[in-house]
Structure formats: C-alpha cells, structure tokens
C-alpha cells in the first residue's frame, strides 16, 4: 500500500466521522422539535477485491438509519400540538389519519387548508374539487373530513365561512383531541417564489407568524 492509498483511507474515515457528527448535531438541534424522530449513523466497511499479491487499504462509508418505526415525542399533555397542512399534502398521506386514530393523542389538532388545487405543480384540481367542474377544475368531490371519521377520528368537520374561524381556533386549543378540521379557502394566483432550503429558518419563520415568537 502506497502513501496515496493510506491518505485516501484516512480521508475516507474523516469524512465518515464528519457525516456522523452532522447527524448528531441535527438530533441535538431538533431535540425540542415536536414529533421529531432521531437519525442514527451506521458505519460500513469497504473491502477491496484484489489479487493475493496486492495489498490495498480498505475504507469506511456511512449510511443514515432513520427511525421510521420510533414514535416521535408528541410533547407534554398540557401543550397543544397543531398541524397545519394543505389538501394536496393530506391526500398524499392519508395513512397518517389511521395512525392518529390508533394513537388517539388528546393534545393533537389537524387543520387542512383546502383550496382544491395542487399549488406547487400548476394549480391542477385535487381530488377534493367537485366533479363536473370543467375540464381543468374537476376532481372527485373527496371529503377529507369523512375520510378522517372513517379512519376513527370522531371529531372531524369542515369550516366553510369566515365566521366559523373563531370556533375553529377555540376547538383546536381547548377540545380533547384528536381534532380534525378542513378549512375551505380561496384559490389565489401568487408570485412563484422558491422557498429557502434552511429547515430551521422555515420552522422559526412559521412559528413567528403563527405565535408571535420563534
């Protein structure tokens, strides 16, 4: 094994340790993030295939082990956990409603802002859009609140009028969960802006807008 092989092996080890340290720092940064599931790092040996007369250094690489089966921390019972999402995202993750119904977290409220459009891909009609609504706006008339009830979330409903928002806020804050509400909202043509890639910044910005503090 020459000097180049030795240096390559050393650099590979440093890269693997650096990657593991990144995962540790991510776990620490999200230690207070509701429902965050930690990630672990697995080290894998790299063994070269060579002739018996040659000697080549091995190496190491890393792989992320996401704790998909682990239960994320929901938080203290006295703190309400509010999930705000859109109809497109909810349609892509309907199985989560069955999981919520199984766990029955008493401090969880889910609010789905439903404009009946896939906004990120060109405002195509989602399944929640009514049938026979024209060639580009026709959906399937899917009722997400009925799906939630069918999964086992008893307290589910739809908010259609601005005058119902105050009751929605009260229900989300005070009623025993899980609470599920679909809020019908207008379709707006907004300027297309690429969001920042900093997850921590997005979280803090959302909390600032919603709660008045990060």
Checking if the pLDDT of 203 tops 60, the result is: yes
Residue 73 domain flag:
no
Checking if the pLDDT of 70 tops 60, the result is: no
Does residue 44 sit in the same domain as residue 86?
Answer: no
What pLDDT is recorded for position 18? 80
CATH number at residue 189: 3.40.50.970
Does residue 110 sit in the same domain as residue 192?
Answer: yes
**How do strand 39-46 and strand 59-66 relate by DSSP bridges?**
antiparallel
- The C-alpha torsion from 90 through 115 and 119 to 26, rounded to 10°, is -40
Domain range for 193: 81-211
Does residue 207 sit in the same domain as residue 111?
Answer: yes
Residue 204: which residues within 8 A CB-CB, separation 6 or more? 214
Please report, rounded to a whole number, the percentage of residues in the chain having pLDDT higher than 70: 76
Give the burial string for 80-90 (b: 16+ CB within 10 Å, else e): bbbbeebbbeb
What pLDDT is recorded for position 162? 92
How far from each other are the two terminal CA atoms of the chain, in whole angstroms?
Answer: 54
Does residue 95 sit in the same domain as residue 173?
Answer: yes
What is the C-alpha to C-alpha distance for residues 92 and 87, in angstroms, rounded to an integer?
A: 9
Q: How many domains does the chain have?
A: 2
Q: What average pLDDT does this structure show over 174-203?
A: 85
Residue 74 domain flag:
no
How many helices (H) and strands (E) the chain has is answered by 6, 8
Pair of tokens at residue 195:
């969001």
Pair of tokens at residue 108:
């969880």
Does residue 41 sit in the same domain as residue 90?
Answer: no
Does residue 101 sit in the same domain as residue 206?
Answer: yes
Residue 53 domain flag:
yes
Does residue 41 sit in the same domain as residue 144?
Answer: no
Does residue 38 sit in the same domain as residue 113?
Answer: no
Does residue 196 sit in the same domain as residue 138?
Answer: yes
What pLDDT is recorded for position 187? 84
Q: What is the pTM of this model?
A: 0.60
- 16 or 183: which leads in pLDDT: 183
Q: What is the pLDDT of residues 85-126, one digit of tens each?
A: 999 889 988 999 999 999 999 999 999 999 998 877 777 888
Q: Which long-range contacts (CB under 8 A, 24 or more apart) does 58-62 make?
A: 58/9, 59/8, 59/9, 59/12, 59/13, 60/12, 60/13, 60/16, 61/12, 61/16, 62/16, 62/19, 62/20
Q: What average pLDDT does this structure show over 179-203?
A: 84
Residue 144 domain flag:
yes
Residue 71 domain flag:
no
Does residue 93 sit in the same domain as residue 196?
Answer: yes
Q: What is the pLDDT of residues 23-65, one digit of tens each?
A: 787 777 776 666 666 777 777 776 666 665 665 666 767 676 6
Residue 72 domain flag:
no
Among residues 43, 66, 89, which one ends one of the domains? 66
Pair of tokens at residue 158:
């739809």
Residue 32 domain flag:
yes
What pLDDT is recorded for position 65? 63
Q: What is the pLDDT of residues 127-183, one digit of tens each?
A: 999 888 776 778 888 999 999 999 999 999 999 999 999 999 999 999 998 999 999
Q: Which is it for the CA torsion 193, 195, 196, 201, positive or negative? A: positive
C-alpha dist (Å) from residue 31 to 27, 34, 122: 6, 8, 36
Does residue 87 sit in the same domain as residue 45?
Answer: no
Among residues 34, 66, 98, which one ends one of the domains? 66
CA 149-154-156 angle, 5° bins: 65
């Amino acid at each position: 094994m020459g000097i180049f092989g030795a240096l390559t092996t050393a650099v590979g080890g440093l890269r693997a340790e650096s990657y593991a340290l990144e995962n540790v720092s991510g776990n620490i940064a999200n230690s207070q993030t509701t429902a965050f599931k930690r990630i672990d790092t697995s080290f894998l040996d790299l063994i070269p295939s060579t002739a018996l007369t040659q000697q080549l250094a091995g190496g190491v690489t890393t792989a992320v082990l996401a704790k998909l089966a682990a239960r994320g921390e929901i938080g203290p019972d006295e703190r309400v956990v509010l999930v705000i999402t859109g109809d497109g995202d909810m349609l892509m993750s309907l199985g989560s409603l069955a999981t919520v119904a199984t766990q029955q977290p008493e401090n969880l409220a889910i609010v789905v802002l439903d404009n009946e459009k896939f906004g990120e891909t060109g405002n195509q009609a989602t399944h929640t859009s009514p049938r026979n609504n024209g060639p580009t706006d026709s959906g399937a008339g899917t009722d997400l609140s009925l799906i939630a009830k069918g999964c086992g979330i008893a307290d589910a409903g739809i908010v259609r009028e601005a005058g119902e928002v105050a009751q929605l806020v009260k229900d989300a804050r005070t009623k025993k969960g899980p609470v599920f509400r679909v809020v019908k909202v207008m379709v707006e043509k907004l300027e297309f802006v690429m969001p920042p890639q900093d997850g921590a910044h997005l979280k803090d910005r959302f909390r600032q807008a919603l709660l008045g503090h990060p």
